[in-house]
Amino acid sequence: MTNNKDLHVANQDIETFREQGFIQFKNFFSSAEMDELRTAIDAAIASNRERIVGAQGGGRLSDDYEKVFNQMVNLWVDSPGAKAYSFSKRLAETGRQLAGSRHVRIYHDHAMIKPAGQDSRATNWHQDAPYWPMDPIGAFSAWIAVDDVTIANGCLHFVPGSHKFGLLEPIQLTDADDSIVDKMRKSGHPVAAPVPMEMEAGGVTFHHGCNFHYAGPNQTDLPRRAHAVIYIPADTAFTGGKDAAGASDEMTIGGPWAHQLHPILAGEE
């Protein structure tokens, strides 16, 4: 992990993130670093790692969900190799400055491996924030391309400015016909043209939790490996209910996210 006292995100990048709700940094990590992260993810796959450790049935949802991706949540807890990247100070500090927050906590990390071939399914157009028990909205993700990502193998696509629609309804990722973009267009809202985020391994995109995003099915012969970290800005309350990271029973509704599963990764208390 690097010391980042001197890291300054350019004002132009902060402005882009604020206006578009996403930003891309190509070559954020080196290819040697991505070799390390890929090794950690492959080891977790090889061990049949549960989606959510400790959850009933491993927290696996359905065969349809597995066609969207094999998702492994809180990998940092049991994979030191993944933790080195989930807890990257440079990544967290970049996110903190983009969000303009006093600090950021980790909500959870998750490896998302989109399977190859005919069974592969798209990650439908959705927002993330409807699944997160937080108020106010403002949490965001850093999505690391562990493999080269292209339209063909399921790179992310974002709709510029769509975070400004605010918090909408959750989309069923297992229902191929459910799409927040279609819903908004049908109800007459001007949804901008999406932008694909192709990049080589080591590239990173950050996206606001209300940004509309999508990834197509993986039409190649190789799995698409990605690793994302979700950050909670300061002054965000836990609103109760389901918390995929597993700390909900030990937190107070309306209280802060101060819990050992959600440490501050950048900035001051």
Ligand X SMILES: O=C(O)CCC(=O)C(=O)O
Minimum CB separation of residue 197 from ligand X in Å reads 10
Among 98, 180, 228, 232, binds ligand X (CB under 6 A): 228
Query: Does the protein bind ligand X through residue 114 (CB under 6 A)?
Result: yes
Q: Which is nearer to ligand X, 132 or 257 (CB)?
A: 132
Among 144, 204, 215, 247, binds ligand X (CB under 6 A): 215
Dist. CA 221–CA 209, nearest whole Å = 31
Q: Provide the mask over 149-178, with x wherever binding to ligand X is found by CB under 6 A and - wherever it is not.
A: -----x------------------------
Give the amino acid at 122: A
Instruction: Evaluate the CA torsion angle 68, 48, 50, 39 in order and state its sign.
Output: negative
Minimum CB separation of residue 240 from ligand X in Å reads 22
Minimum CB separation of residue 37 from ligand X in Å reads 15
Phi, psi of 47 (to 5 degrees): -90, 10
Phi, psi of 79 (to 5 degrees): -130, 100
Query: Does the protein bind ligand X through residue 112 (CB under 6 A)?
Result: yes
Minimum CB separation of residue 231 from ligand X in Å reads 12
Dist. CA 140–CA 266, nearest whole Å = 14
Q: Which is nearer to ligand X, 131 or 258 (CB)?
A: 131
Query: Does the protein bind ligand X through residue 213 (CB under 6 A)?
Result: yes
Among 226, 229, 244, 261, binds ligand X (CB under 6 A): 226
Q: What stretches of 47-167 show up as alpha helix (H) in DSSP?
A: 63-68, 75-78, 80-86, 89-99
Minimum CB separation of residue 190 from ligand X in Å reads 23
Query: Does the protein bind ligand X through residue 143 (CB under 6 A)?
Result: yes
Residues in contact with ligand X, counted by CB under 6 A, come to a total of: 12
171: left (phi over 0), alpha (psi -120 to 50) or beta: beta
Query: Does the protein bind ligand X through residue 141 (CB under 6 A)?
Result: yes
For residue 105, the cross-strand partners are 232, 264
Which run of H or E residues covers position 225? strand 224-233
Among 28, 29, 69, 140, binds ligand X (CB under 6 A): 69
Contact yes or no for 242/165 (Cβ under 8 A): no
Neighbours of 177 (CB within 10 A): 7
Contact yes or no for 106/232 (Cβ under 8 A): yes
Query: Does the protein bind ligand X through residue 128 (CB under 6 A)?
Result: yes
Minimum CB separation of residue 71 from ligand X in Å reads 9
| Contact residues: ligand X, CB under 6 A | 69, 112, 114, 123, 128, 141, 143, 154, 213, 215, 226, 228
